Structure 1
Amino acid sequence: MDFSIKACDWSKAADKALIGGKTDCIVVGVFDGQALSGAALQIDRASKGVLSRLVKTGELEGKAGTTVTLREVPGIGAARVLVVGLGRHDEFSPKAYTEATRAALRALQGTHAGDALWTLAQVAPVPGRDGAWAVRTAVQLACDAAYRFTQMKSKPEPVRGALRKLVLSVAADDLQAARVALKRGLAIGRGMDLARDLANLPGNVCTPTHLANTARKLARELKLKAEILGQKQIAALKMGSFLSVAKGSTEPPQFIVLKYEGGPAKAAPIVLVGKGITFDSGGISLKPGEAMDEMKYDMCGAASVLGTMRAVAEMGLKLNVIGVVPTCENMPSGNANKPGDIVTSMSGQTIEILNTDAEGRLILCDALTYVERFRPAAVVDVATLTGACIIALGHVNSGLFSKSDALADQLLEAGRNAGDTAWRLPVEDEYQEQLKSNFADVANIGGRPAGSVTAACFLARFAGKYEWAHLDIAGTAWKSGAAKGATGRPVPLLTQFLMDREGR
């Protein structure tokens, strides 16, 4: 989709000419019980009161999320006028703006408009946000709405009347910031697209080698530095925990390191670590057959890290970021991990494997030890780690765990700003009691109680030398049922976090 920015002051006669411009659709917003303003007011005047009459008859209420499409409005150059309800003015919020934007984009798809003029970014100030945020959010959500996964279909169904061009109007004073916001919104959208594409690919295509090749491609295209470690190099690093998961599969493991160097050479980097289990059968502790196909999504942490690295590079953020992805399959075989096996991690800690389906923490723990060499300013690992997190938080919030209040607060605020929210859960030492082993330093599971918490506590044992946070995205990375597919989360949260860190 093509995006552009247009400066506009709806109170000036010259800018009112936009109303007469030729376009398939103009999108305007109205508040419930509030006088018309901005573009809606100018359309009403140009049409000699069409909108006002609809308000009086109750056909145009302005309730949050409602849409009305008007065709061939007199005095208007656009073929259609899409009026979006914004709810009550005194209740307008970032969430209300986001919901109105989603409703408008859905309605636009139904009109089959090829291009549109979007005025919602300047309809009213969004409390706690600036005009740039409104533009970036609209662009990001438009990219999200336009996403289609058709790579594996022999004859993809054509998308009829898809929106090809969106012009966003902004106040003249916001023009420069809006252009930056447009660039960043597009970067986040493309990062989400990459994450969704990788996750939606089947496990026989998106293998560890495919993820490694994707990292190499990103490095070539965006001037990143990629280092891919193969099985011999991983073994030389004594990543016995990671390799124990990989040995049950014929697919070779890969350890991906992708560097973006946008800050000063000596500035400590932010490190993102993504779990990359490209298919999780559960291993010897085999999962139930129902919905096992969705275990191709067990690499969504890796996908989100690669998507975030793409977004950061496209934005040109002035900080250093390193993406680290340990990736392999978890399969049952004569060579696979068995319950009761004990392995030695890169840190030297021994781990008793009580359940081979708790494999994500086994590959992440070695990655968390590896990243000590970067002397990071902060480390955030991202993983579809536990079904227990879905029981705790459902599909709304990602689970956030950290012993650092400052880092946790930064991630929570980034999630709120990005509309990609997380909820903080405890990672207290008292829970470590559940991970005690009679035979090794630690067990890889702590039983059913507080399953997502004990998983985070396990990881915390390997992340004690830097500020660290863990995001459990098991409930937010993909959807099941009729809407089955990857969501691209938490790319928006991670990129917002990094944008905020750049400004510190």
Structure 2
Amino acid sequence: MTMLIPFRRVLLSSVRKHNCRQFSDFSSTSTARKGLVLGVYEKQSNNDGKHFTEAAAEFDSSLSGKLSQMLSLSGPPLKKGKSRIFYGLHQDFPSVVVVGLGKSDAGVCGKENWDNCKENIRGAVSTGCRQLQDLEITHVEVDPCGDEQSAAEGAVLGLFEYDELKTKKKVRVTTTQPHGSVDTAAWQKGILYGEGQNLARQLMEAPANHITPTVFADTIEQKLSPFVDRVTVHKRPQSWIESEQMGAFLSVSKGSEEPPIFLELHYRGSSDSTQPPLVLVGKGITFDSGGISLKPSSGMDAMRADMGGAATVCSAVVTAAALKLPINIIGLAPLCENMPSGKANKPGDVVCAKNGKTIQVDNTDAEGRLILADALCYAHSFSPRAIINAATLTGAMDVALGSAATGVFTNSDWLWERLHKASIVTGDRVWRMPLFQHYTKQITDSALADLNNVGKYSRSGGACTAAAFLREFVTTDHWAHLDIAGVMTNKDEVPYLRKGMSGRPTRTLVEFAAHLASES
């Protein structure tokens, strides 16, 4: 019996065979290594037609509607974050990925505390670029999707993968550029934002025997070398640290064979040399074994990224310099290892910080707050406009917020409002945490010294007592402590970041500095 096959199925089968044939034909030519990412919005109603972006509409028009036809034949309308790839549609782009951008009227969401439109673009563009990378395509053009900066960030962040130490590497996308008419400045800004976060990811991913305190400092110095006209780098040795009487910092570093480095970066972006600087301070423990209070072996390898605070802060300074932000910034990073040698801190030891306060070290694994204490004291010597420190400080922060947001402890509503505003733009969120005297009393109740490094109740409110400890070394009116332990890694929470170290919240720090510069 003769069967009647629906016309749509016949046509779709023909299209698929045609696509396979076209891709095969193109694979032997140089153009096969060029791809295009285009965006499409969700339908607003059943009567709504294809809702292409401007670039996608122009591309479809140049093909006399063939892209629309292919999308209709290939399945249901694309939802947010989903994609489809077509081969052989265009002689210049043998591979075209169409990505779903969600609703076209998406904007800032008060419940989520970010801009849905920007996040959708970052995620969609990342998905499309990765698909083309999997096809070993080296040149990718990207639909700006109405927001060049977000599209560029999605492409740069989505394509990053740390494989420097593998002998067999994936084929990399060597060039990424916008498709069609765009705001070039906004696109380039997005590239720099993404590259800044990727620098932090690279530093955090690298094994601890490859990123020692010395190598970390040398790497940042090299990254800042193109900006020597407005950047000064000081790699302070142990003798300088001793002369500054940074006893808390030295007490942590003495357990390791690797010498400590106090990295000091001066970026002079403002034409007004008297402008008070923004001071960024980052915890730089390049490997944290826990010291005598040894960590469990399971997962200890991830402690190569315990310098995430220093990585994000220094990367933010590099990005600010590349963007030529009109603001003065000082970056400070105390760098050392926390190791369990015969010279290491012992539980119960008492050390003296730069400001003269004595600290009882009841847990040597609470070392980040010790090195930050001295760095915060030193930060005040620059008469700063504001001080922000970032640190993978407590596991308690991960318990409290997970990877949803960076915890912020601050004594300044002015500073909080600007950090929060910046995080809404970047999608790399922050959330305010308490700095009650309730927590201060716990760390000042010490049997042997002025302060105890873990507090009276070590398990209760750990992130809050750590912040209260740091506050004992702050006198400025505008200070914020960013506990980034929860956002240190990414599994699948952020769709435009691969699994691994996240480099968060580098872009939020840069965006904050940019806003502060505009206020100047």
Give the TM-score normalised by structure 2.
0.84
The within-5 A match list for 1:209-358 is 209-223=214-228, 224-263=231-270, 264-358=272-366
How far is the alpha carbon of 1:57 from its aligned partner?
Answer: 5.0
Matched residue SS, 2:504: coil
Q: What residue number does 1:107 align with? A: 131
Task: State, as a whole percentage, how many aligned pairs show the same letter.
Answer: 38
Q: Deviations over 1:53-88 (max 9, x none)?
A: 455557250311121112223x76532332222223
How far is the alpha carbon of 1:300 from its aligned partner?
Answer: 1.1
The within-5 A match list for 1:112-131 is 112-122=136-146
Q: What residue number does 1:66 align with? A: 82
Match of 1:190 among 191, 195, 199: 195
Q: Does 1:26 align with 2:33?
A: no
Q: What residue number does 1:96 align with? A: 120
Structure 1 residues 69, 438: CA separation in 2 closer, same or farther (over 3 Å shift)?
same
Q: What residue number does 1:452 align with? A: 463
Structure 1 residues 444, 49: CA separation in 2 closer, same or farther (over 3 Å shift)?
same
Mapped partners of 2:218, 2:260: distance in 1: 13
Equivalent pairs counted in the alignment come to 462
How far is the alpha carbon of 1:304 from its aligned partner?
Answer: 1.3
Mapped partners of 2:76, 2:173: distance in 1: 25
Match of 1:389 among 382, 386, 397: 397
Is this contact kept in 2: 1:365–1:459, CA < 8 A?
yes
Structure 1 residues 28, 204: CA separation in 2 closer, same or farther (over 3 Å shift)?
closer
* Segment of structure 1 superposing worse, 439-448 or 192-201: 192-201
Mapped partners of 1:271, 1:245: distance in 2: 23
Q: Deviations over 1:297-334 (max 9, x none)?
A: 11111111221121111111111001101111111122
How far is the alpha carbon of 1:479 from its aligned partner?
Answer: 4.0
Q: Deviations over 1:78-131 (max 9, x none)?
A: 323322222233446222222222222233324443333322433xxxxxxxxx
Mapped partners of 2:386, 2:83: distance in 1: 44
Structure 1 residues 170, 420: CA separation in 2 closer, same or farther (over 3 Å shift)?
farther
* Segment of structure 1 superposing worse, 272-281 or 432-441: 432-441
Mapped partners of 2:500, 2:123: distance in 1: 21
Q: What residue number does 1:204 align with? A: 209
Q: What residue number does 2:155 align with? A: 142
Q: What residue number does 1:79 align with? A: 94
Q: What residue number does 2:113 align with? A: none
Mapped partners of 1:298, 1:492: distance in 2: 19
Structure 1 residues 293, 27: CA separation in 2 closer, same or farther (over 3 Å shift)?
closer
- The residue type paired with residue 266 of structure 2 is K
- The residue type paired with residue 412 of structure 2 is S
- The residue type paired with residue 41 of structure 1 is A
Q: Does 1:407 align with 2:415?
A: yes
Structure 1 residues 45, 191: CA separation in 2 closer, same or farther (over 3 Å shift)?
closer
Is this contact kept in 1: 2:126–2:157, CA < 8 A?
no
How far is the alpha carbon of 1:401 from its aligned partner?
Answer: 1.0
- Gaps in structure 2 of 5+ consecutive residues: 1-30, 108-116, 493-497
Match of 1:35 among 49, 60, 65: 49
* Segment of structure 1 superposing worse, 204-213 or 379-388: 204-213
Mapped partners of 2:85, 2:94: distance in 1: 10
Mapped partners of 1:206, 1:52: distance in 2: 50
Structure 1 residues 370, 503: CA separation in 2 closer, same or farther (over 3 Å shift)?
same
Give the TM-score normalised by structure 1.
0.86
Matched residue SS, 2:307: helix
Is this contact kept in 2: 1:379–1:466, CA < 8 A?
no
- Gaps in structure 1 of 5+ consecutive residues: 1-21, 123-133
